[in-house]
Each structure stands twice: as C-alpha cells, then as structure tokens.
C-alpha cells in the first residue's frame, strides 16, 4: 500500500519549468520567423512557376525541418541503418501539478525528466546471423513525479514509472532481448529482460500502445493493466513466442519471472518460486476498408501470493499481522481496436478507437476488473500532419477482500473503485520537437480524498 508522502516545493522545480518554457519559446520562434521571411522572399518565385510544374522540389534539409535534432550525422545514421544498426534517442521533460484533490495538492507541481536510448541490431546484416535481432533500452531518469500526490492506482505519468517511480535518479538497462525470426518471418521467439511498455508496443503497433511520450501520459489511458499487476511487473526476465499476421503478433505466449528487475540483473528468485504465463490470440478483420481486431489474452502465475481475505491473516504479538494462506492469481483480458476514419489512401491520417476490459480473481488479486476506452486522432487537421490528439477514460473495481483487508489498518479507509480521464494534444513544433499539454482528472482509492485535477505538459526532443 502506498503511503502519503509530503514534499517541499523547491526553487529547482520552478527554475526547471521556466527553463523548459524558454527553450520552447526560443526553439519555436526562431524557425518560425526564419520560415516567414523565406516565404515572403520566395513569393515571386512561386508565382513565376509555369503550369508544367507538377510538384515543388524537395525542401533543403535544415535544423528546423529534419527528422532528428542531430540530423543524419553526415550520413553515418543512414549508413548504420543499412548495415543493420539503429539507434533512437529521446529527451523528455514533464511538468505536472495536482492543483486540487488527491492525496496532496500543496506542492505546486513536480518536474521530472528522462533520456531514453533504444538500440536495434539486425545481426543478419551485421554478422550474417540470419533472422537474429538484438534489442536494448537504456533509461535515465531524474527529478520527481506526482504519483504519490495524486494517489495509488491513478498512474498520472506512465513513462516515469521507469526505471522506478517516485524520487529517483539513475540510469538502468531495462530491456535487453534477443529475437529469432522463424519460418520466413511468419513467427518469432524472444528471450531476455522485458520492459512492459517496450513489449506492449511490439504486440500493439501503430501507436495503439506507446511509451507515453507521444500519446497519453496516464498509464491507465495507455492500457488497462491493473488486473494484471499482481503478477506482471514493469520489468521482468522472460521468454515469448508468437506467429505473425498482417505485420502483428497473431497468436503466442509469454513466460515471465516474478521478480522486478528494473534496477538489477540478479536472477535470485526470478524463476525459482514460480513464473507468470500468458497466452493470447488476435482476431483480425477489415470493416469497409478499415482495420480492426479483437485481442484475447489470459494467464496466471504458478507463484503463490499472500491471500487478501482478512480471515486469512493473523495477529502476531509484537510483530504485526501476517498472512496464513497463499493463492495463485489469474487474469483474462479483451481488447478491441478499430480505425473509425482515415484519409483516403493515407493511413497516417486517421482516427482510431482502442478499448478493453480485463478481469482477475478476487483473491489474491487486488483488482476485480478494469475497463478503459480511448480515441486518438493522428493528424487531426490536414495542415498539421505531425500533430496527435486523444481522449480516454478508465474505471477499475478493487477486490472486496482487498478493500476489507486494508480497511482494518489504522487510518485507512478505501473506496471500492477508482477512475480517471485524460485529454491531450501533441503539437509538433518541428519534426524533432513536440509539446504536449495534458489534463487529467482522477479518483484514487482513498475514500476521504477528492478527485485530483492534474494539468501537465510534456516536451520531447528526438536526437
């Protein structure tokens, strides 16, 4: 159970926020002025073009229109890609504030930052190991988040769950896997250290599920996950296998150790006391030319967890309370994806629905079921091809046993449900710089806490 934490408002937080806003101002205004001037000076040239010209020549690459801040490194980035080596680097800054409600709304905001590095190595191109792929994710994090201010189960910032939520500063390799592509690309096997969001992006591509750096920030808006949280953590050792259909994993399994390895490489207890096992299948359809599917997943753990039934706990004089029984958790989930609208012959501009519900046992899991629905618009305006917007809602029902058990503790009084809403707009300042305002409204598990109003902003730079 998360406890209430009190933090002091720091001069550093206010300084970082001001610095971030100045950076946004300078990076956006300078190219805007330059492009405006260029537009005026080229007006006569554009008018003088003959009717035989069918398309304008490609714009010369500059600092402000290229895909990455650091460019192509003199051709090195493209050459490395051709030889099977890809590297992606993103610097993300977050400022969020619980302005009312929640556990604590007196802190005037939290500032946190991350630097993520993803490396993908096609060993077939690099070493003639046909079908072998090595993937890694290095995460550096500093600053604070509003997880404790908003309250448990609200998850207002999914990216700052990694490597560790709260007041964490450090760098960790959270994902390292080796994949073997089989049967001419129709199947694959994977093994290694599995970071939850990295794995989910592979199973739900095309922005359906992301890392929280492009779309929704709230973890509950990204994916309905609390029903699985008893036995699936943020980072675990594991293996997986699946078949492909329409460029997506179609049917498969995941087997994961039960220890969180976000900040460690130790195998102690990772598999020795049990594993989590999940099976899934995806039913794909085409609805009047628009893609959709139903994803069904189910599983559980061979590890026995402490019972949440209050009758299964006993008081030990001088030591507190202790569980006398253990049980194995299990869960099942259904996720539906459907493109609602897309521009003719251009799937990049679309509106999509992603919704789901997941169920778990009342004991030992602490959530009976949770349900969510989200709608995202990619390029919501024809003139804003790099923008993205979305709205999502989430509800989960806590296990009755869990609520009764925790309510026996002093000063604890739980409600049986939590919920959240989120609205965001990802504004592309230029191809490598995105600014995202977000508004969240979330109810935590404490009966005496009002819903938390959480405005925030995210600034992401692609290096």
DSSP per-residue string spanning 229-271: TTT--SEEEEEEEEEEETTEEEEEEEEEESS--TT----TTTS
Greater model confidence, 449 or 29: 449
Is 9 part of a structural domain of the chain? no
pLDDT tens figures, 51-110: 434 455 666 789 999 999 999 999 999 999 999 999 999 999 999 999 999 999 998 899
Q: Is residue 128 part of a domain?
A: yes
In this prediction, residue 267 carries a pLDDT of 82
Residue 15 has pLDDT above 50, yes or no: no
Rounded CA separation 369/409 (Å): 24
- Residue 25 phi, psi dihedral angles, 5° rounding: -60, -50
Q: Is residue 20 part of a domain?
A: no
Pairwise pLDDT comparison (7 vs 241), residue with the higher score:
241
> Is residue 399 assigned to a domain?
yes
Confirm whether 23 is domain-assigned: no
CATH code, domain with 150: 2.40.160.180
Integer Cα distance of 141 and 166 in angstroms = 11
Q: Is the pLDDT of residue 209 over 50?
A: yes
Q: What pLDDT, on a 0 to 100 scale, did the predictor assign at position 58?
A: 62
374-420 confidence digits (pLDDT tens): 999 999 999 999 999 999 999 999 999 999 888 888 888 899 999 99
**439 within a domain of the structure (yes/no):** yes
Percent of the chain whose predicted confidence (pLDDT) is above 90:
70
Lowest mean pLDDT among 89-98, 311-320, 322-331: 311-320
Q: Which domain holds residue 403?
A: 77-462
Rg, Å, the chain Cα set: 24
Average pLDDT on 190-197 reads 95
Residue 32 has pLDDT above 80, yes or no: no
Beta bridge partners of 375: 353, 391
Lowest mean pLDDT among 143-157, 173-187, 224-238, 372-386: 224-238
Rounded distance between C-alpha atoms, residue 40 and residue 88, angstroms:
36
271 and 292 Cβ atoms separated by less than 8 Å: no
* 230 pLDDT above the threshold of 50: yes
Two tokens at 204?
């739900």
Amino acid 37: pLDDT: 35
Write down the pLDDT at residue 57: 61
Q: Is 362 helix (H, G, I), strand (E, B) or coil?
A: coil
Average pLDDT over residues 150-171: 92
Report yes or no on 201 lying in a domain. Answer: yes
Cα–Cα dist 338/75, whole Å:
39
- Hey, how many other C-beta atoms are within 10 angstroms of the C-beta on 153? 24
Whether 410 maps to a domain, the answer reads yes
Are 378 and 244 in contact by the 8 Å Cβ rule? The answer is no
Number of separate domains in the chain = 1
Percent of the chain with pLDDT over 70: 87
Tell me the average pLDDT of the chain. 87
């Amino acid at each position: 159970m998360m406890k209430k934490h009190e933090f002091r408002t720091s001069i550093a937080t206010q300084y970082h926020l001001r610095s971030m806003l100045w950076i946004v101002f300078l990076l956006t205004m300078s190219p805007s002025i330059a492009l405006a001037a260029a537009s005026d000076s080229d007006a006569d040239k554009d008018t003088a073009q003959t009717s035989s010209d069918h398309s304008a020549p490609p714009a010369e690459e500059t600092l402000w229109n290229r895909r990455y801040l650091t460019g192509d490194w003199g051709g090195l980035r493209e050459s490395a890609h051709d030889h099977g080596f890809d590297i992606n680097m993103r610097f993300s800054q977050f400022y969020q504030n619980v302005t009312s409600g929640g556990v604590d709304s007196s802190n005037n905001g939290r500032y946190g930052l991350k630097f993520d590095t993803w490396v993908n190595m096609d060993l077939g191109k690099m070493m003639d190991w046909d079908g072998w792929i090595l993937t890694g994710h290095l995460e550096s994090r500093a600053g604070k988040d509003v997880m404790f201010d908003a309250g448990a189960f609200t998850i207002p910032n999914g990216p700052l769950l990694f490597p560790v939520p709260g007041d964490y500063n450090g760098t960790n390799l959270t994902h390292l896997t080796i994949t073997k592509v089989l049967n001419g690309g129709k199947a694959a096997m994977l093994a290694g250290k599995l970071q939850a969001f990295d794995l989910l992006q592979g199973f739900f591509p095309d922005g359906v599920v992301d890392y929280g750096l492009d779309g929704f920030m709230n973890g509950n808006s990204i994916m309905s996950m609390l029903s699985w949280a008893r036995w699936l953590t943020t980072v675990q050792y594991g293996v997986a296998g699946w078949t492909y259909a329409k460029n997506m994993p179609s049917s498969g399994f995941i087997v994961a150790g039960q220890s969180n390895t976000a900040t460690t490489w130790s195998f102690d207890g990772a598999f020795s006391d049990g594993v989590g096992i999940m099976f899934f299948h995806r039913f794909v359809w085409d609805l009047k030319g628009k893609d959709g599917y139903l994803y069904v997943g189910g599983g559980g753990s061979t590890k026995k967890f402490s019972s949440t039934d209050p009758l299964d706990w006993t008081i030990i004089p001088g030591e507190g309370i202790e569980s006398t029984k253990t049980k194995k958790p299990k869960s099942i989930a259904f996720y539906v994806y459907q493109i609602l609208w897309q521009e003719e012959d251009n799937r990049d501009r679309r509106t999509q629905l992603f919704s789901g519900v997941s169920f778990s046992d009342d004991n030992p899991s602490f959530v009976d079921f949770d349900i969510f629905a989200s709608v995202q618009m990619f390029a919501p305006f024809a003139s804003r091809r790099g923008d993205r917007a979305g709205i999502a809602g989430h509800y989960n029902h806590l296990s009755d046993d869990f609520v009764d058990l925790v309510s026996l503790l002093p000063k604890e009084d739980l409600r049986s449900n939590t919920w959240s809403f989120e609205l965001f707009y990802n504004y592309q300042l230029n191809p490598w710089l995105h600014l995202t305002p977000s508004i969240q409204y979330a109810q935590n598990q404490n009966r005496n806490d009002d819903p938390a109003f959480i405005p925030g902003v995210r600034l992401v730079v692609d290096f």
